[in-house]
Amino acid sequence: MAGSLRDQLVQAGLATNSQAKKAERQQRAEEQAKRHGNKKQNEATASEDPSTAAAKAKKRA
């Protein structure tokens, strides 16, 4: 049997190789965005007055 879940799914015919690769790329992108996006947002709002941060959030929306 194949080592990774991805390989097992492809081998069983439940997913194509391109679907498996796309899913891996998407997962990496989400993890990277979570790490980098939250860090920048937390740094920006940590030094601001809470009411100022809320006003900026409303402006962005």
In a domain, 30, yes or no: yes
Tens of pLDDT along the chain (61 residues) come to 548 888 999 999 999 999 999 999 999 999 999 998 866 555 555 555 666 666 777 777 6
Tokens standing for 15?
Answer: 């997913």
pLDDT of residue 3: 80
Residue 47's φ and ψ, nearest 5 degrees, are -90, -5
In a domain, 40, yes or no: yes
pTM over 0.75: no
- Reference 48, options 56, 39, 60; nearest CA is 56
Query: Considering its fold, how many domains does the chain have in total?
Result: 1
Q: What single-letter amino acid sits at 28?
A: R
In a domain, 33, yes or no: yes
| Range of the structural domain that residue 35 is part of | 21-46
CA-based R_g, the chain, Å: 20
In a domain, 1, yes or no: no
Q: Are 21 and 14 in contact (CB under 8 A)?
A: no
